[in-house]
Chain A
Amino acid sequence: MSTTRAERLVNLVLCLLSTRQFLSAERIRGIVPGYADALSDEAFFRMFERDKTELRDLGVPLEVGKTQSFETTDGYRIARRDYELGDIDLEPDEAAAVALAARLWDSPQFTGAAHGALIKLRAAGVDVDQDVHAAVEPKVRTSEPAFPSLLAAVQAGQVVEFDYRRPVATDVATRTIEPWGVVAWRGRWYLVGHDRDRGAARCFRLSRVVGEVRTVGKPGVVQRPEDVDLLSFVATSQRDAPPSAPTRLWVAKGRAHGLRRRARLVGEQVVEGEPGDLVEIELRFPDSAAKWIAGFGPDVLVLEPEVLAKSVRERLLGALSTQRGAEVGR
């Protein structure tokens, strides 16, 4: 953009802020420096339309109306109370929180906007120190390919359709959703919304969306229920598993350190000539326990419960038969 355009836009804002009357496009053309450069009416109106769009995109509240009822064309002005950021005064610890919040995002959608917010707060007289030291520095990325289009649909209130892969199903299914919000929870992004096919509220992991997100119908259609708390909706859908029964294992001496970290030593035993320890362990996530234990191969054996011993055995048998039947490139 040329310097003159930026200058023209600043002058336009100052002019419209200073007037109480609505100024017609023609009046503005005569007053604000830069518009006189337009060689024809058509060129001027094109220029003025572009400028109005740009100001609206920046969040400048352009009012359109007539000062007197007999006027034939609409005019423009900016109401100061709609334009100006309200008074704000932050204590040093609050300003430090704001600085930290502004650098939370590693996101093309939010990093720039957070910086813009910071600049406006500083312009309101708040001192926000960039180099504030934080006890913990949280970082949030929005790298899932589906993120930008789902965020846009949420903000536009537009229905979406996408292919979704369920964790254990063999195929993808197309879902049609009225999106209410995007939620990051424990490092993963979810879409929360009304699932039209199931007639109920559901949440979807963005990493399981396959391919493009398609919008359906017009913007402004989706109504988010007022009582829905997006964060708790996702949190309760991802409930922790209950603690399991006590587990006793045999662990070969000096092996499986990752498991020993969480275990309590209760005895010793030699198995198949191999010295080992008997340990007890509390398994917080029983679903993944068999996978974890099977991974240690002959270094860890399950004494009890029997159901865990069985499922570890099944995994090992599965690994063996699958691998034996495989053609391996050598």
Chain B
Amino acid sequence: MSASSERVPRLLALVPYLLARPGIPLREVAADFDVPEKQLRKDLELLWMCGLPGYGPGDLIDLSFEGDTVTVGFDAGMSRPLRLTAAEATSLLVALRALSDTPGMLDAEAVQRAVAKIEAAVGQAQPAGVAVGLALREAPETAKVRDALQDGVRRGRALRLRYYTPSRDEITDRVVDPMRMLLVEGHSYLEAWCRGADGVRLFRLDRIDEVEVLEEGAAPPPHAQLTDTSEGLFRPDPSQRMAVLVLEPDARWIAEYYPVDDVIELGAGRARVMMRYADLSWMVRLALGLGGDVRVEHPAELADEVIRQSTAALRRAEHLPST
């Protein structure tokens, strides 16, 4: 993408933008266009050189600066922005439609009004071929948890959570300072400062068993950073242990569902994968559940534990009194 593919659209939008906001501070303009103020000044200097054929004093775009503010005197006929491209209309309208069915979205009706107005203004640039549905498969308990969390977030209160951690199969109580609610890749999360863990954590809503909104205000420390979701929520952690697994075709979903470092095709749909894990007991549960569709090649402690636990489970089932 060339530099002009960003700069020229900005130049074309600047005059109508300023026309609608006489005397706006340059700082605000720079923020709205997401460019440094220095770049903005260069853009305005350039626009000052542009105008209508003749290019005399009365033909050129006229901008007047007062202190740190700017006002358009003459727009040279550029009073409205260029209409949206198909890609722009698609990205915005698909996103808006997705919002209107986001669970927990309080103002779906406002979203629908915005869709109608933008569609009308955009005219023929109809978005086609992309759709996003954010509706979740959600239990009624989770909807209740969501309501309680949103109440706490809205009122800026600290929360006490009873939370299930699958990696350790344990339920713990913790006090957190909520930051925001996220919906990523089909799951809802509360992002919060966890006082016990002394860090920012994501809590999946369907793993929260109880929520208590505390009287105490939410106070995440200033250095608490929101998670950058652009690379996905979970990064491989080099400190985690590595398992080498051979997956039969029926267990191939493992490589789609969990982050794996490496997939080596073995033919006939089988694959050898390297998978990082934080907790041995979690990995044992995964391997037992997959039955004969996975073979542990490494580490030995994982392989031994699979043998030990499957043997124990089969023996214990024999002792079960018939019902």
Hey, which bits of chain A sit against chain B, CB under 8 A? 1, 3, 5-7, 9-11, 13-15, 17-18, 31-33, 54, 57-60, 82-91, 93-98, 100-102, 104-106, 109-111, 113-125, 130, 134-141, 143, 151, 154-155, 165, 167-171, 179-188, 207-208, 224, 230-231, 234-235, 240, 248, 250, 255-258, 261, 269, 271-272, 274, 284, 290-298, 301-304, 309, 313-324, 326-330
Contact A33 B288, CB 8 Å, known A6-B8, A18-B77, A171-B269: no
**Residue on A with the closest CB to B123?**
A86
A-B contact pairs, 24 of them (CB 8 A): A6-B4, A31-B53, A85-B82, A88-B120, A89-B117, A117-B89, A119-B81, A120-B81, A120-B83, A123-B16, A123-B81, A124-B81, A139-B229, A165-B269, A186-B135, A271-B316, A271-B320, A272-B315, A290-B289, A294-B289, A296-B285, A297-B288, A318-B292, A319-B292
Chain A residues in 8 Å Cβ range of B232: 141, 143
* A140–B98 CB distance below 8 A: yes
Chain B residues in 8 Å Cβ range of A309: 317
Chain B residues in 8 Å Cβ range of A317: 291-292, 310, 314
Instruction: Give Cα distance in the complex from A314 to B138, angstroms.
Output: 30
* B99–A101 CB distance below 8 A: yes
* A138–B134 CB distance below 8 A: yes
| Further 12 A-B residue pairs, CB within 8 A, beyond A125-B21, A320-B310, A328-B300 | A9-B8, A54-B4, A86-B120, A89-B117, A100-B99, A124-B80, A186-B137, A235-B135, A291-B289, A291-B290, A297-B285, A326-B303
Chain A residues in 8 Å Cβ range of B9: 58, 116, 119-120
Instruction: Give Cα distance in the complex from A94 to B7, angstroms.
Output: 28
Of B62-70, B180-188, B193-201, B217-225, the stretch lying at the interface with chain A is B180-188
* A123–B310 CB distance below 8 A: no
Instruction: Give Cα distance in the complex from A235 to B110, angstroms.
Output: 25
Chain B residues in 8 Å Cβ range of A119: 9-10, 13, 17, 32-33, 81
Q: Does B296 contact A (CB under 8 A)?
A: yes
Shortest CB-to-CB span from A60 to chain B, Å, is: 6
Shortest CB-to-CB span from A48 to chain B, Å, is: 15
Shortest CB-to-CB span from B100 to chain A, Å, is: 8
Instruction: Give Cα distance in the complex from A124 to B53, angstroms.
Output: 25
Contact A316 B14, CB 8 Å, known A5-B4, A137-B181, A224-B129: no
Chain A residues in 8 Å Cβ range of B252: 165, 167
* A315–B107 CB distance below 8 A: no
Shortest CB-to-CB span from B319 to chain A, Å, is: 4
Instruction: Give Cα distance in the complex from A186 to B95, angstroms.
Output: 14
* A93–B297 CB distance below 8 A: no
* A97–B4 CB distance below 8 A: no
Q: B87, B95, B312: which contacts A104 (Cβ < 8 A)? A: B95
Chain B residues in 8 Å Cβ range of A315: 288-292
Shortest CB-to-CB span from B7 to chain A, Å, is: 5
Q: A91, A101, A329: which contacts B298 (Cβ < 8 A)? A: A329
Q: Does B131 contact A (CB under 8 A)?
A: yes
Q: B5, B20, B128, B313: which contacts A298 (Cβ < 8 A)? A: B313
Chain B residues in 8 Å Cβ range of A14: 50-52, 76-78
* B102–A136 CB distance below 8 A: yes
Contact A104 B98, CB 8 Å, known A137-B180, A291-B290, A319-B287: yes
Chain B residues in 8 Å Cβ range of A224: 128-129
Chain A residues in 8 Å Cβ range of B14: 123
For the complex of A and B, 3 pairs with smallest distance between CB atoms: A187-B186, A318-B292, A315-B291
Shortest CB-to-CB span from A74 to chain B, Å, is: 20
Contact A329 B300, CB 8 Å, known A83-B82, A187-B187: yes
Shortest CB-to-CB span from B58 to chain A, Å, is: 13
Instruction: Give Cα distance in the complex from A240 to B4, angstroms.
Output: 49
Instruction: Give Cα distance in the complex from A59 to B130, angstroms.
Output: 20
Q: B50, B91, B135, B169: which contacts A113 (Cβ < 8 A)? A: B91
Chain B residues in 8 Å Cβ range of A314: 291
* B118–A88 CB distance below 8 A: yes
Mask, B1-44, CB within 8 Å of A = 1, is 01111011111111011001100000000011110000000100
Chain A residues in 8 Å Cβ range of B323: 248, 303-304
Q: A6, A86, A208: which contacts B11 (Cβ < 8 A)? A: A6
Q: A6, A115, A125, A301: which contacts B46 (Cβ < 8 A)? A: A6
Q: A54, A121, A169: which contacts B8 (Cβ < 8 A)? A: A54
Docked complex: B100-133 residues within 8 A CB-CB of A: 102-107, 110-111, 113-114, 117-118, 120-123, 128-133
Q: Does B295 contact A (CB under 8 A)?
A: yes
